[in-house]
Structure 1
Amino acid sequence: MKFLDALQRLQRLDRLIRIKATGDIKSLANKLDVSERTAYNLLDNLRDMGAEIEYCHERHSYHYPNGTGLQIKIKLDNGEVIKGGVSSMNFNNLEFFFEDVGYLNL
């Protein structure tokens, strides 16, 4: 999977969690067009980044109990910062190089 595709998938998952519209794991997998195992892995990826995620049996949806979510910052060589998402989490110390845009820092 390409890096930007993975980021987009995590952003989509984050949005579904924030609006409490994930459904159960089978529904979530269908919404993300992935297997149930991959849906579990994506949830674990967000948890590994520090997100608190719980499942609400009444709403049948995953949610952030503390109201946080995913925030992505991309800093280009020219100092421009591209932001996306809503949260108090920051992704620092990750650097990727793409020939067409230069270094991307998350």
Structure 2
Amino acid sequence: MNKLIQEQRTGKPAELACRLGISVSRLFVILDQLKDQGAPIRYCRERHTYYYEGFFSVSITVEFEKLERSAFREITGGCAFFRNNFATTFFV
């Protein structure tokens, strides 16, 4: 989303939401959250795109930590696969 906003090629809200695989209402929630964090996001009705009105940078940090085997039981995340109406959760 950040790259599309920086390049001013998001398209209309419904188009952007579709590209991101989220609902339009979820898109507006995310945009509001970014604005709350100081992102100067605006929308141009003539060009049908979101853009930053001034400088804004997004920084994402990912940290990895090796877990002990006993900690696996405390993890509630994972991927759920549905087959024949039964859910199976796999942890990676």
- Place the TM-score, normalised by the shorter chain, in its bin: 0.5 to 0.7
Q: Equivalences for 1:3-42 in 2 at 5 Å? A: 13-42=1-30
**Residues 53-90 of structure 1: CA deviation (Å, up to 9, x unaligned):** 0001121100001032312345x6xxxxxxxxxxxxxx
The yes-or-no answer on 1:64 pairing with 2:52 is yes
Q: 1:100 pairs with 58, 63, 66, which one? A: 66
| Consecutive unaligned residues in structure 2, runs of 5 or more | 68-92
Structure showing greater Rg: 2
Amino acid aligned to 1:25: P
Tell me the distance in 2 between the aligned counterparts of 1:52 and 1:99: 34
**CA distance in structure 2 between the aligned counterparts of 1:48 and 1:56, rounded to whole angstroms:** 20
Identity rate of aligned residues, in percent? Answer: 37
Instruction: Say what the alpha-carbon RMSD is for the aligned residues.
Output: 2.0
Q: How far did residue 16 of structure 1 move?
A: 1.1
1:50 to 32, 38, 60: 38
> d(CA) in 2 for partners of 1:20 and 1:100?
40
In 2, distance between residues paired with 1:67 and 1:36?
25
TM-score where L is the length of structure 1:
0.55
Deviation at 1:31, TM superposition (A): 0.7
Return the alpha-carbon distance in structure 1 between the equivalents of residues 66 and 34 of structure 2: 28
TM-score by length of 2: 0.63
Query: Which secondary structure state, in structure 2, belongs to the residue aligned with residue 63 of structure 1?
Result: strand
Gaps of 5+ in 1: 1-12, 77-97, 102-106
